[in-house]
Amino acid sequence: MESWLVVVSILFPIICSLLFLLLRSPVIRNSIVIAASAVLILTSLGFAYFFGQASIDLHDILGIELNEIVAVLDFALLAYIIYVGIRLHSRIITILALAQLIPLAYFELTYREALQRSGALFHLDGLSIIMVLIISIIGSLIAVFSIGYMKKHEEHLKLEKSRQPVFFFVIFLFLGAMNGLVLADNLLWMFFFWEVTTLCSFLLIAHDKTEESIKNAKRALWINLLGGVGFLAGIILIFGKTGGVLVSGLLEGNNVPSELVLLPVAFLCFAAFTKSAQLPFQSWLLGAMVAPTPVSALLHSSTMVKAGVYLVVRFSPVLAGTHLGFMVALAGAFTFAVTSAIAISQSNAKRVLAYSTIANLGLIIACAGIGSPVAVGAAILLIIFHAVSKGLMFLCVGTIEQEIGSRDIEDMDGIMKKMPFTATVAAIGAISMLLPPFGVLVSKWLAIEAAVRMPVVLILIVIGSAFTLVFWTKWIGKLLAVNYIKKIPREKLHPTVRSTLGILLVIVLAASMGIVFLFNFFVSPQFAGITEERIMGGRGLLEIAGDGVIGSFAYFPIFIVLGALALSIPFILRKVSPEKVRQPYFCGENCEIEGNIGFRAEADTETPSAFRNYYLRWAFSEETLGFWASMISAILIIVLFVVSI
């Protein structure tokens, strides 16, 4: 059964994506998108249903060795990237692709037989199933959202010929490749899917074909290719030291001492840092937001950047308790603190989200680097909660942007009046990133406990958390600001847009409420093989598994309190009668200017009321922090390699 699920979750989206290229009718395409999404979601739920640790060997299909197929596809992919590099006149892309192609060719040809013998090709466990669920559910929902979004997007761009076939082709290819990446046990397979996601993100970022989008796509491509080179180096070194390329063989055999593979794992972490846009590689993810918003949602929540953190979490047993692990944790925590600070200075909503993504990935990497069960538990939970909340936030921002024509937070002042549904959903999404009892904060709470034995990491996490409070709160304030209005209007939205926002919101709430279930079902089995002495500060973990209690903290009462508060909203709204409404105080006479509130200033001039948020640019801007942060993080990465030699 599991092997069928694996095949469907990888091949089915890829077959669908090819269909999109062939069938160009929008109606058929949209129905396939919805149907394919349903199949993908059901498949991923099938994984959860048949959950268990399993290794699946799909050695050959119809007599053709799968390893051979992947090797051939890998060469084709790299050749295509070289072609892209030449066509775009980008020397660095060509060189980096060659730097993968030549060693890979040498490696595959020299050790052909040994590589073919490598056994189980897919491995299922809690982590990979969590990833499949995230990719398939969130990714599919984003694809469905794109139906309505891309329609409006292309109307806005006034394209003569729709480019949606290519768009959906890449999106589904991406989802299939991501599923492959997280399920693959063979590092060479993982590498192939890794490079497919790199190429897909390049194609998606370049989708609008503007000068800026192509420039940013090129940058994304070369930074990720650099990571790819690191990945390949890691694989070759692992093969050289252990004679195998299977992740499970490396982690579970217990016959490989972790000192032996530290250097290759350092290379893999380097690859993960590029893919997860950690400092100093953050620029590609920031540039990626020129793409249509569903692309950003996809890159930031369920795919691409999550591949990087997945890799680090996957190898966290090797990292635990080593100097390399400490450096990885330090680099991640540093990214978390600095990018959270920079987010304060940003008024572009998508940039705020991007920095917040980088920060959260940093936190995940920090936890994975610590490597204790509590820490890894926190990392996996963060992957889940960040994916759902961030996916929702991007879709909300995209919806708002299409309506008001701006992604600036300042322009979202009073958005509640025009788009009450989207604004409320966005505000809840933001709250779920920040406050208790939502999952992101509970994971952060675990992260603090996990980091207690590493004071430097801990300090960075605590300080970074304080920064996140600032930029989220002032944004939520803008979203929810509203004058008195007699009747709250109903907002017009494309049905796919409204339904995906609604479903994602439900998932955000349900995931947070079900955190104990998620933890017990998917996360704690990860630690089954870990011996007692490797548990550092593990008290919280043991307490987590209790009934309905997270740590030593009774969790549900908070939801009940918030639920009661939410139930009071209709009552509060109903009680208001218009004659009790006053204008805000302006220290002078109020007046109304085109429906907005204003006041009479000097010489009776009518002045509209305006208030800009604090951005504290003197302290937190990219200009003041960016350079030094990049320098320090580059040094951290160099040290990371040095300590692992």
Residues that bind other proteins (CB under 8 A): 414, 434-436, 441, 445, 448-449, 452, 455, 458-459, 462-463, 465-467, 469-470, 473-474, 476-478, 480-484, 539-540, 551-554, 557-558, 561, 564-565, 568-569, 572-573, 575-576, 580-587, 597, 609, 611, 613-614
Cβ neighbours of residue 604 under 8 Å, at least 6 residues apart?
Answer: none
The least distance separating other proteins from the CB of residue 463, rounded to whole angstroms, comes to 6
Nearer to other proteins, 106 or 484 (CB): 484
Cβ neighbours of residue 86 under 8 Å, at least 6 residues apart?
Answer: 94
Residue 499 half-sphere exposure toward CB, CA atoms < 13 A: 12
Nearer to other proteins, 25 or 611 (CB): 611
The least distance separating other proteins from the CB of residue 420, rounded to whole angstroms, comes to 11
Amino acid letter, residue 265:
V
For 273-340, list the strands marked E by DSSP: none
The least distance separating other proteins from the CB of residue 562, rounded to whole angstroms, comes to 9
Nearer to other proteins, 131 or 427 (CB): 427
Nearer to other proteins, 529 or 584 (CB): 584
Nearer to other proteins, 115 or 442 (CB): 442
The least distance separating other proteins from the CB of residue 551, rounded to whole angstroms, comes to 6
Nearer to other proteins, 159 or 601 (CB): 601
The least distance separating other proteins from the CB of residue 297, rounded to whole angstroms, comes to 25
Nearer to other proteins, 259 or 606 (CB): 606
Start-to-end Cα distance in the chain: 43
The least distance separating other proteins from the CB of residue 381, rounded to whole angstroms, comes to 15
Residue 467 contacts residue 344 (beta carbons within 8 Å): yes
The least distance separating other proteins from the CB of residue 475, rounded to whole angstroms, comes to 10
Cα separation, 171 vs 149, whole angstroms? 14
The least distance separating other proteins from the CB of residue 301, rounded to whole angstroms, comes to 24
Residue 158 is encoded by which pair of tokens?
């006034």
Nearer to other proteins, 502 or 584 (CB): 584
The least distance separating other proteins from the CB of residue 330, rounded to whole angstroms, comes to 16
The least distance separating other proteins from the CB of residue 29, rounded to whole angstroms, comes to 41
DSSP collapsed to 3 states, 40-70: HHHHHHHHHHCCCCEEECCCEECCEEHHHHH
Nearer to other proteins, 48 or 463 (CB): 463
Q: Please, where are the H alpha helices in 481-576?
A: 495-513, 515-518, 539-544, 556-574
Cα separation, 191 vs 264, whole angstroms? 14
Distances (CA, A) of 377 to 126, 210, 384, 507: 11, 42, 11, 20
Nearer to other proteins, 295 or 329 (CB): 329
DSSP strand pairing (54-56 vs 122-124) = antiparallel
DSSP strand pairing (64-65 vs 60-61) = antiparallel
Length in residues, the chain: 645
The least distance separating other proteins from the CB of residue 432, rounded to whole angstroms, comes to 12
Cα separation, 128 vs 216, whole angstroms? 30
Residue 373 contacts residue 541 (beta carbons within 8 Å): yes
Cα separation, 10 vs 176, whole angstroms? 4
DSSP state of 129: H
Query: Computed over its alpha carbons, how large is the radius of gyration of the chain?
Result: 25
Cα separation, 636 vs 629, whole angstroms? 10
Q: Is 537 left (phi over 0), alpha (psi -120 to 50) or beta?
A: left
The least distance separating other proteins from the CB of residue 327, rounded to whole angstroms, comes to 19
Nearer to other proteins, 90 or 607 (CB): 607
Q: Which residues pair with 606 in a beta bridge?
A: 600
Nearer to other proteins, 572 or 645 (CB): 572
DSSP 111-127: THHHHHH----EEE-HH
> Of 406, 404, 357, nearest to 383 (Cα)?
357
Amino acid letter, residue 189:
W
